[in-house]
A and B are shown apart, each in its own frame.
Chain A
C-alpha cells in the first residue's frame, strides 16, 4: 500500500471524513470500473460504487493495516456487485449465459459497426471494446480485473472465490470468443 493511501486510511479510521473523501477520490475509478464490468450498466455501477464506500466506511475498523487497502476494497466491491447481480437475476429472471460466448452475439456487436469505418486499429479496438461489453458478466469481470486492473490470476481467483483454473479458462474462452468475433468481422469486411 502506498504511503499516501496508508496515511489516508489511518486518518479515516480516526473518523476524519476529509481523509476518507481523499481516499474515495484516489480509488473511485477502480471501484466504478469493477462495478461496471460486473453489472454492465452505468446507473448500477454508480449505485454500487456508493454502496461499496458506505460499507468500507462501516468496516474500516476491521481492515488490517498490514494488507493492501485496494485489495480489501476490491473484495468489498466484488462481493457487493455479486450480491446485486443475484438480486437482479431473481428480480428480472436474468441468467448468466454461456451462449454469449458462442460468437454469434459478439459478431453482431462487431458487425454493428460501419464496415468502411473499421479500417484503422483504433476502429478495430473500439469495436472490440463494445464486444467486451456484450460478454456475459463472469467473462467480462475476468477481463476487466486482468486487463484493466492488472490483477494476477491468483488475485482474481481469490477475489471471485473461484479456482485458479476457472479464472484461466474464463479468460481464455473470452479471448477466443473476442478473436472469433473480430475475425468474422474482418472476413466480412474483406469479402
Chain B
C-alpha cells in the first residue's frame, strides 16, 4: 500500500514545498524597497524642461544677436569691400555683358566712393579701407567663434555623418546600376 501511494506522497511534498517557496517569494517581493533616484536628477530634469521652454519661445522670436550680428558684420564688410575697392574685381564692361543689373551700381554710393577717393590722398584712403575691413572682419569672426557651442560641434558631426551616409548610398546605387 505504501509503495502505491509513495509517488502521490512525494508529489504532494514537492507541491507543498513549492507552495512554501512561492509564499516566501511573494512576501520577500512585497518587502522589496524602492530604489531612490539620485538627488541631482530633479534639478537636471527641471533644467531640461526650462531649456525645452526656452527653445519653444525662441522659435517665435527673431534670431538671437549672436547669430545675426556676425552675419550683419560680415555682410557690411563685404558690401564695403565691394564698394570701396580701389580696382573693381570685375570690369564694368564684362559685368554688363554678363548681367546688366551688376553694372548699374547705385549711383549715389558710387559717386560717394569716388569723391572720397579723390578728396583723400589715395594712400590714406587705402590704409583706411584696409583697417576698416580688417576690423570688421576680425569682429565678425570673433563673434562667430565665441558663440560656438559644443552642441554646434555635435550637430556638425551629425551633418557630416549624414552627408557621408547619403554619399555612400548614392555610390552604392550607382555601382548597382552599373
Instruction: Write the residues of chain A forming the contact surface with B, with a CB cutoff of 8 angstroms.
Output: 17, 20-21, 24-25, 28-29, 32-33, 36, 42, 45-46, 49-50, 53-54, 57-58, 121, 124-125, 128-129, 132, 143, 147-148, 175-176, 178-180, 182-183
Q: Looking at the complex, which one of B18, B29, B49 makes contact with A147 (CB distance below 8 Å)?
A: B29
Closest Cβ of chain A to B22, distance in Å, is 5
Q: Does B174 contact A (CB under 8 A)?
A: no
* CB <8 Å contact, A46 and B38: yes
Name the segment of B39-47, B130-138, B142-150 touching the other chain.
B39-47
Q: Does B16 contact A (CB under 8 A)?
A: no
Binding site secondary structure of chain B: helix
Contacts of A28 in B (CB 8 A): 37, 41-42, 45
Q: Looking at the complex, which one of A29, A50, A147 makes contact with B45 (CB distance below 8 Å)?
A: A50
* CB <8 Å contact, A182 and B21: yes
Bitwise, B22-58 to A at CB < 8 A (1) or not (0) is 1011101111101111100110111011101100000
Compute how far the CA of A182 lies from the CA of B52 in the bound complex, rounded to whole angstroms.
Answer: 47
Given A179-B18, A179-B25, are A33 and B46 neighbors across the interface (CB < 8 Å)? no
Given A49-B37, A182-B21, are A21 and B32 neighbors across the interface (CB < 8 Å)? no
Q: A50-B45, A121-B28, A175-B25 are in contact. List 5 more A-B contacts (CB 8 A).
A: A32-B36, A32-B37, A124-B24, A148-B32, A180-B21
